[in-house]
Amino acid sequence: MFKQPIVNINISWNRETFKLLLIIFIFWSLISYLYFYKNNNVNNDNITNSSTQPDIGEIGEPISIIQSQSPSQSPSQSQSKDAIMTLSPSTPTNTSSPSTNTTSTPTFHVDIVINQKYCQSNTCRFLFAYYPPEQETQANQHFLSFVQLAEKLNRIMVLTNVGNSHIFACQPFSFDFYYNVDKLQKRFPNVKFITQKDFQFWTKERKEKPDTFHGFITINKNHSYTVNHVQPYVEKLNLSNCLRLFNLRLNDTTIFKDIYLSKGKNLETFENLILKELDTNAEVLLIKHEIRYPLFKPLSSLDYANHIIDAANSISEKLRPYIASHWRMELGKPKMMPDCAKNLVKWVKDKESRTGIKNLYLATDYPLLGENKAQSTTFHVITKYHINAIQILNSSVSLNTWVSLHPFDYLPKDKWIKKELMGAGIQGILDKLVLIQADYFVSCPKVCGRYISKYTKKVREERTKNVGKKYYYLKNVWEMWYEN
């Protein structure tokens, strides 16, 4: 009479036990998963975790009119249309492991898949010139030196961001905002290129963070060639050069090498020394130099983006025939500015009386948008004399500028474009192209401003090449307006 209750108790106990065991199993499985995930995502070098880094879009947003990729798209959702060999994320084709495996197997195989996605190879070898020196006209040339270096070292060239007349990792716009990547690829058919944004995605997706090597090239004033291994300055690179935005293995174990070249060495000697010292197995070669001439054989400048060329052509066609003047007021004597303006007016009127040409296009560092900030990073004080000079021109000649002609109305009206147009960026390129195509080109005498610069030198060089050839309408190469 007591057996039936005992059976009921056993059945109840078995059900409760089963529930308890099931809960324990689920809890154990969750803990195991979290442990495995953590151990496969921790940076082995204890550098800053990616969750503390700025978002990928934090440098700046792409220009939708210039780029086909919208800010919301990830690399796997869109293909780069810059050039045939410009790398963009793709489906891996071969994930066979190289003979050397120095990391845990799961992480290693994941990174091979990621490398295939971005480099179409089991391994990636990048050259990242994060900040070529000088403003656009010269930075343009320096970047070409780094492309030549990437070719000689068999590395993929990162197309560094641009903005405010610089090629610099901290700037908001992709490389093709300033430059024509298709033509760059044709000039360097053996070099592979990758956008800075895709390079950034690669560093963030990698499980084992990419190792780095930092090279800095400069001139030794003592005329001797030396190489120094220096204390890594990681914090400076992270803060001042925005390398914090890339999940790189950049720490006190990274090799930092300063290469001092001596003046007077020929290009071949330079090349051999540089290639020897920058021969490294590191996945990312970070490179910078402070040399004001080409590292290798000089090349013609980078070709500008089609949208800027089209904007410049529309101005030239609208104004032609026209006189173009470059007036960089920066180094002029402020009190002389009104007289300088009157002398320019006299020069234009004299030219008009002989040729009938009355349109004047003015390229200047004066703040044309009505702000007190000059369109130059080195011109800081705008006086009443500068303001008076522009007023004299406005009231005396048919004055045209990039502001009055609205060539950039096609660009988005966002904060990045507004900031760009307040500085010395894309409009400096546009001005240069309009100056090159002018019927007459005139610049200021010494007392009125910076009369000789690399910018005006480039304009003169291009006009010299094209007088009587490409631009049949060129009437001179260069003149200087009246000083007195």
Q: Which residue in the block uniquely carries the two structure tokens 């990698």? A: 206
CA 122-124-130 angle, 5° bins: 165
Residues with Cβ within 8 Å of 125's Cβ and at least 6 positions away in sequence, in order, are: 153, 154, 155, 156, 283, 285
Whether the bond between 412 and the residue before it is cis, its omega within 30 degrees of 0, is: no
Residue at which a domain ends, from 258, 289, 320: 289
Q: Which residue in the block uniquely carries the two structure tokens 């410049």? A: 312
**For the chain, which residues score pLDDT lower than 70?**
1-19, 22, 25, 27-105, 223, 264-267, 370-380
**Residues 174 and 277 occupy one common structural domain:** yes
pLDDT digits (tens, 9 = 90+) for 197-211: 999 999 999 999 999
Q: Is residue 19 part of a domain?
A: no
**Residues 356 and 402 occupy one common structural domain:** yes
Alpha-carbon torsion (33, 35, 38, 42), positive or negative: negative
Q: What is the pTM of this model?
A: 0.80
Domain count, the chain: 2
**Residues 246 and 183 occupy one common structural domain:** yes
Q: In sequence order, what are the beta bridge partners of 193?
A: 86, 157
**Residues 279 and 343 occupy one common structural domain:** no
Contact 311, 66 (CB under 8 A): no
**Residues 285 and 310 occupy one common structural domain:** no
pLDDT of residue 478: 93
Q: Is residue 415 part of a domain?
A: yes
Q: Is residue 41 part of a domain?
A: no
Q: What's the CATH number where 143 sits?
A: 3.40.50
Residue at which a domain ends, from 240, 255, 289: 289
**Residues 331 and 234 occupy one common structural domain:** no
**Residues 312, 437: Cα–Cα separation, whole Å:** 9
**Residues 273 and 144 occupy one common structural domain:** yes
- Backbone φ and ψ for 195, nearest 5 degrees, come out as -70, 155
pLDDT digits (tens, 9 = 90+) for 99-150: 344 445 678 899 999 999 999 999 999 999 999 999 999 999 999 999 999 9
Alpha-carbon torsion (170, 171, 177, 178), positive or negative: negative
Q: Is residue 177 part of a domain?
A: yes
Write a three-state SS string for the chain.
Answer: CCHHHHHHHHHHHHHHHHHHHHHHHHHHHHHHHHHHHHHCCCCCCCCCCHHHCCCHHHCCCCCCCCCCCCCCCCHHHCCCCCCCCEECCCCCCCCCCCCCCCCCHHHHHHHHHHHHHHHCCCCCCEEEECCCCCCHHHHHHHHHHHHHHHHHCCCEEEECCEECCEECCCCCECHHHCECHHHHHHHCCCCCEEEHHHHHHHHHHCCCCCEEEEEEEEEECCCCCEEEECCCCHHHHHHHCCHHHCCCECCCCCEEEEEEEECCCCHHHHHHHHHHHCCCCCCEEEEEECCCCCCCCCCCCCCECHHHHHHHHHHHHHHCCEEEEEECHHHCCHHHHHHHHHHHHHHHHHHHHHHCCCEEEEEECCCCCCCCCCCCCCCCCCCHHHHHHHHHHHHHCEEECHHHHCCCCCCCCCHHHHHHHHCCCHHHHHHHHHHHCCCEEEECCHHHCCCCCHHHHHHHHHHHHHECCCECCCCCCCEECCCC
**Residues 427 and 322 occupy one common structural domain:** yes
Q: Is residue 1 part of a domain?
A: no
Contact 70, 261 (CB under 8 A): no
**Residues 254 and 313 occupy one common structural domain:** no
Which amino acid is located at 418 in the chain?
Answer: K
**Residues 116 and 258 occupy one common structural domain:** yes
**Mean pLDDT (the chain, rounded):** 83
Residue at which a domain ends, from 257, 289, 321: 289
Q: Is residue 329 part of a domain?
A: yes
- Backbone φ and ψ for 411, nearest 5 degrees, come out as -80, 150
Contact 328, 362 (CB under 8 A): no
Q: Which domain holds residue 155?
A: 52-65+76-96+104-289
Contact 333, 430 (CB under 8 A): no
Q: Is residue 22 part of a domain?
A: no
Q: Is residue 176 part of a domain?
A: yes
**Residues 437, 433: Cα–Cα separation, whole Å:** 6
Pairing relationship of beta strands 162-163 and 166-167 according to DSSP bridges: antiparallel
**Residues 447 and 341 occupy one common structural domain:** yes
**Residues 140 and 254 occupy one common structural domain:** yes
pLDDT of residue 474: 95
Contact 106, 114 (CB under 8 A): no
| Sheet architecture: strand order including 226-229 | 86-87, 193-195, 156-159, 126-129, 284-289, 212-220, 255-262, 226-229
